[in-house]
Amino acid sequence: MVILSVDFGLARTGIAVCDPGEHLASPVTVIAEKFIPALVDKVAAFASEKKAGRIVVGLPVNMDGSEGASAQNVRRFAADLERISGLPVDLLDERCTTMEAHTFLNATNTRGKKRKAVVDAVSAVIILENYLDKRHAAARREES
């Protein structure tokens, strides 16, 4: 199944998708939209265009496991996205994904404006890869 992932941001939101076999996560775009209802519509449109069967949204949990205002914003966004898209929306702890994205971009020597333009999409890829790893591990446990 194609799964679309979202790295929600108040200024920029990264989008990634996986192939139908759920093996390869790829960046799609970064949406520059601050008005949440419009952002929900745009993400739902991408999900439809990519023929996604599910959406995963990164949940910004604090390092101590607690949830702050950002996590509550994401929970509201995810609920709206599920309602508008008609697709199941899962939340995934995204602790350290932005840091991982910056590490990747450092390794690929991506700098300046290009870096700012892609970091959120790379974060969405990392969220999706983590989600796929969890799905594959759960499937292996069920087979045992």
Name the H helices within the chain.
Answer: 36-49, 69-85, 97-107, 112-143
Dihedrals phi, psi of 2, to nearest 5 degrees: -75, 130
Domain boundaries defined on the chain: 3-143
Specify the pLDDT at position 59.
Answer: 94
- pLDDT for 132: 95
Question: What pLDDT sits at residue 65?
Answer: 77
Query: What was the pLDDT predicted at 24?
Result: 93
State residue 44's pLDDT score.
Answer: 98
- CATH code for the structural domain at 3-143: 3.30.420.140
| Interhelix angle 97-107/112-143, nearest 10 degrees | 120
Query: Per-10-residue mean pLDDT for the chain, 144 residues long?
Result: 95 95 94 96 97 96 82 96 98 74 60 63 90 87 78
